[in-house]
Amino acid sequence: MGGGKVYTLAEVSEHNTPKDCWLVIDGKVYNVTKFLEDHPGGDEVLLSSTGKDATDDFEDVGHSSTAKAMMDEYYVGDINTSTVPAKTKYTPPKQPHYEQDKTSEFVIKLLQFLVPLLILGLALGIRFYTKSA
């Protein structure tokens, strides 16, 4: 930790407006209010990261070493990590088991629908062709 004041996530979350904007990145709290207008990605990017651990948002962008060095200027303290919800790893929903039998049922139903349409289309095409000839 950086040795500054320790804030809870609830305290940091109160600072979520363009006139008062704080972020949590890598366990540190930053008051980025003065930087909002100068942020290359716009102020909305920063405002959307308030009230949570914005570390992933920050890292995903791939900030330069210069940008990371600038952060020291906005440091106001550390976050009490026990107040930040644990990150949950995304697990995709389980896919239903693929059953070959049901696939053939689907194909049969599809053919039962398409074959009459093809016959009707062919009959109309022949009728149109014979009338115009």
List pLDDT tens digits, range 93-129.
Answer: 777 666 666 677 888 888 999 999 999 999 999 988 8
CB 45 within 8 A of CB 3: no
The reported pLDDT for the residue numbered 41 is 85
Report pTM: 0.62
pLDDT in tens, 21-43: 999 999 999 999 999 888 888 88
